[in-house]
Amino acid sequence: MTYNVSEKRWTAGRQGIDMDTPIVDIENLWFAYNGRNVLEQIYFRIRQKDFIAMIGPNGGGKTTLLKLILGLYKPTKGTIRVMGNTTEKASHHIGYVPQNVHINNHFPITALDVVLMGKLHPQKRWVRRTREDRRQAMDALEKLAVDRYAARKITELSGGQRQRVFIARALVTNPVLLLLDEPTASIDTKGQADFFRLLRDLNADVAILVVSHDLLAVSTHVKSVACVNKGLHLHNEAEITGEMLEEMYPCTEEEICPVELIAHGMPHRVLRNHK
Amino acid sequence: MIDALQYEFMRNALAAGLLASVICGVMGTLVVVNRIAFLSGGIAHAAYGGIGLSFFLGVPYLLGTIGFTLAASMLMAAITINAKHRADTVIGVVWAVGMAFGIIMLDLTPGYNVDLMSYLFGSLLTVPGSDLLIMLVQAFLVAGLVTYFYNDFLAMSYDEEFAQIRGVPVRGLYFLLIGMLAVTIVMVIQVVGLILVIALLTIPPFIVEKHAKSLWQMMVGSSLLGALFTVSGLWLSYTFDVTSGAAIIMVAGTGFFLSLGIHEKKEPQPHGVGNPDRLPKHPLSGG
């Protein structure tokens, strides 16, 4: 992905990326922790242009699945391919926006330096922090409308501003997929709506997987919903907009989808906003 | 103070204190932001086991102590790496056992009776010139390594998972950090003593952290502040004829509590001017 200054947008100029290859391809994945199965029999694909919300109860394995995709954990059984490669080799294609970065309230780092972390190239240790890196970092901050805080300490920013800085950090890594873990936890309702509009705009160029605790509210901008509770069930776009609900996915009971949404008897429908 | 500098031992004490301030300012910054102050204490106390073992086996003091302390610190690093924030029990055990082992080794060594106080508080006023040279070399080594790995240490300290995804060898760096810390502590302990090492490693970085905008600033600021504490402590020690290490620590401690007081007064500004959407700070909000 290259950054085009004149157009001020990220253009998909990623060479050698086959649009048909799934970004993430998970087959029969199992993960056990302390002898207990956290994830069972997961089949999951993330493709270009996807905008997936991952929901499920606490301890249902959402964050674990994210960390498996990022290569931070190793599967107990099954395979994960990222861009057709192993996670170790391909995790740098993923822009990760963690939930809770540092609990240290005084960590000495500016917003700009946080974003520059996305420009780390451990192989080239002496030639880092080039002017070009700085420019790209500033552009990413500007894209997220937090460039005026570039020189501020990150700990002085509000939760929402900090979140945008972390997204900027993920964007300067030129990702094909953005993974966000509970991004709206520290943002108010109005901010959340803005936030999802921002993600929708970013989705023009990059696939998005966003994890949410909230079982009820899923933004209208989300194209599909993955329910995770040990198992995973993906509800696609058509189903969410209520079309062909029964025919496409006769998903009515727990044995098909691991997460109960909204209410019993009203399975897996994401309601549109009241207008 | 100026007239005191006509004595060579005062000049050496000052030079040793300043070098220790710089070394501890740099390493202490990494200790504080990585929250391994307790681990540092564990290393410093386990080092006593190395001192005892060196005397018992009759091997050169520095070689034996560094070897033993490195081994103990690597053990602690290996156990703590997967649970950095729950490692306190293991560290406490190594802390106590290392110290006890050293004392028993010294008991079993015929004819030797090392003064525990000189190990705890060092003997700043009797530092020989050769020790100064070793400290100078060490200061350059620490500065060189930290400069070379600066961005990696920064990323690891701030967001270990993100660093790992970007390809930073965080596990290797963690062992390197603990290893550097072990060598630093052993070298500086024999000059200024265990208690002063821990004070210089933690107090200046803690005070500076709130005001620094980068790790680099924090390292420089901590070194300067440590130097200020050292010089004032030495002056008090000379003027009032009290133990030098303890005087420096009392000055540093005073600075610590003063900074807490100043910060308490500055902190409660929930409605920061020009920043209306500032959220109240919650301990778990990631701030």
Nearest CA in chain A to B155: A117
Query: In this complex, is the C-beta atom of A138 within 8 Å of any C-beta atom belonging to chain B?
Result: no
Strand pairing report for A24-33 and A94-97: unpaired
* CA neighbor of A147 nearest in space, from A183, A110, A173, A176: A110
Per-residue pLDDT, averaged over A241-260, amounts to 45
Query: Under an 8 A CB cutoff, do B162 and A107 touch?
Result: no
Q: Which of residues 175-234 of A touch B (CB under 8 A)?
A: 186
Higher pLDDT, A14 or B142: B142
Query: In this complex, is the C-beta atom of A155 within 8 Å of any C-beta atom belonging to chain B?
Result: yes
- Domain coordinates of chain B in residue numbers? 3-262
- pLDDT, one tens digit per residue, over A97-144 is 987 665 667 899 999 999 999 888 766 665 556 788 899 999 999 988
The DSSP string of chain B is: -TGGGGSHHHHHHHHHHHHHHHHHHHHHHHHHHTT-HHHHHHHHHHHHHHHHHHHHHT--HHHHHHHHHHHHHHHHHHHHTT-GGG-HHHHHHHHHHHHHHHHHHHHHSTT----HHHHHH--GGG--HHHHHHHHHHHHHHHHHHHHTHHHHHHHHH-HHHHHHTT--HHHHHHHHHHHHHHHHHHHHHHH-HHHHHHHHHHHHHHHHTT-SSHHHHHHHHHHHHHHHHHHHHHHHHHHT--HHHHHHHHHHHHHHHHHHHHHHHS--SS-TT-TTPPPP-TTTT-
- pLDDT, one tens digit per residue, over A46-58 is 988 899 988 888 8
pLDDT category, A172, cuts 50, 70, 90?
Answer: very high
pLDDT(A273) > 50: no
Q: Architecture of domain A22-102+176-248 in CATH?
A: 3-Layer(aba) Sandwich (3.40)
Query: Under an 8 A CB cutoff, do B165 and A108 touch?
Result: no
> How far does B81 lie from chain A, in Å, by closest CA?
14
* The dihedral formed by the CA atoms of A259, A262, A268 and A269, expressed in degrees to the nearest 10: -160
Query: In this complex, is the C-beta atom of A27 within 8 Å of any C-beta atom belonging to chain B?
Result: no
- pLDDT, one tens digit per residue, over B34-46 is 989 999 999 999 9
Q: How far apart are CA B111 and CA B114, in angstroms?
A: 10
A183: three-class secondary structure by DSSP: coil
pLDDT(B54) > 70: yes
Query: In this complex, is the C-beta atom of B33 within 8 Å of any C-beta atom belonging to chain A?
Result: yes
What pLDDT, on a 0 to 100 scale, did the predictor assign at position A239?
54
Which residue out of B30, B145, B159 would a mutagenesis test of the A interface target, given it has the greatest number of A Cβ atoms within 10 Å? B159
Higher pLDDT, A76 or B89: A76
Query: In this complex, is the C-beta atom of B214 within 8 Å of any C-beta atom belonging to chain A?
Result: yes
pLDDT category, A231, cuts 50, 70, 90?
Answer: confident
pLDDT category, A255, cuts 50, 70, 90?
Answer: very low
- pLDDT, one tens digit per residue, over B203-220 is 999 999 999 999 999 999
What pLDDT, on a 0 to 100 scale, did the predictor assign at position A135?
92
Provide ipTM, 2 decimals: 0.80
Average pLDDT for chain B: 85
> How far does A79 lie from chain B, in Å, by closest CA?
18
- Domain coordinates of chain A in residue numbers? 22-102+176-248
Per-residue pLDDT, averaged over A12-19, amounts to 48
What pLDDT, on a 0 to 100 scale, did the predictor assign at position A59?
80
A63: three-class secondary structure by DSSP: helix
In single-letter form, the type of residue at position B195 comes to I
With a pLDDT cut of 90, the percent of chain B lying above it is 47
Nearest CA in chain B to A169: B162
In single-letter form, the type of residue at position B113 comes to N
Query: Under an 8 A CB cutoff, do A120 and B168 touch?
Result: yes
Per-residue pLDDT, averaged over A50-68, amounts to 87
> C-alpha distances in angstroms, A48 versus A19, A42, A218, B55, B262?
7, 20, 20, 66, 53
pLDDT(B73) > 80: yes
Which of A47-51, A213-217, B190-194 is predicted least confidently? A213-217
Nearest CA in chain A to B280: A158
pLDDT category, A236, cuts 50, 70, 90?
Answer: confident
Q: How far apart are CA B23 and CA A148, in angstroms?
A: 36
What pLDDT, on a 0 to 100 scale, did the predictor assign at position A17?
53
Q: Which two tokens stand for residue B214?
A: 């980068």
Per-residue pLDDT, averaged over A11-39, amounts to 75
Nearest CA in chain B to A166: B162
pLDDT(A16) > 50: no
Query: In this complex, is the C-beta atom of B287 within 8 Å of any C-beta atom belonging to chain A?
Result: yes
From B35, B213, B286, residue closest to A110, measured CB to CB:
B213
Higher pLDDT, B271 or A237: A237
What pLDDT, on a 0 to 100 scale, did the predictor assign at position B193?
85
Query: Under an 8 A CB cutoff, do B168 and A122 touch?
Result: yes
Per-residue pLDDT, averaged over A144-148, amounts to 91
Residue count (chain B): 287
pLDDT(B11) > 70: yes
Contacts of A186 in chain B (CB under 8 A): 279, 285-286
The size of the A-B interface in CB pairs under 8 A is 112
What pLDDT, on a 0 to 100 scale, did the predictor assign at position B263?
66
> How far does A192 lie from chain B, in Å, by closest CA?
14
With a pLDDT cut of 70, the percent of chain B lying above it is 88
- pLDDT, one tens digit per residue, over B109-129 is 887 666 777 777 777 888 888
Contacts of B281 in chain A (CB under 8 A): 105
Query: Under an 8 A CB cutoff, do A120 and B286 touch?
Result: no
Edge-to-edge strand list for the sheet holding A94-97: A94-97, A177-181, A207-212, A51-55, A224-229, A231-235
Q: Architecture of domain B3-262 in CATH?
A: Orthogonal Bundle (1.10)
Residue count (chain A): 275
With a pLDDT cut of 90, the percent of chain A lying above it is 26
What pLDDT, on a 0 to 100 scale, did the predictor assign at position B24?
94
Which residue out of B154, B162, B275 would a mutagenesis test of the A interface target, given it has the greatest number of A Cβ atoms within 10 Å? B162
What pLDDT, on a 0 to 100 scale, did the predictor assign at position B256?
94
pLDDT category, A11, cuts 50, 70, 90?
Answer: very low
Average pLDDT for chain A: 76
pLDDT(B273) > 60: no
Nearest CA in chain A to B152: A122
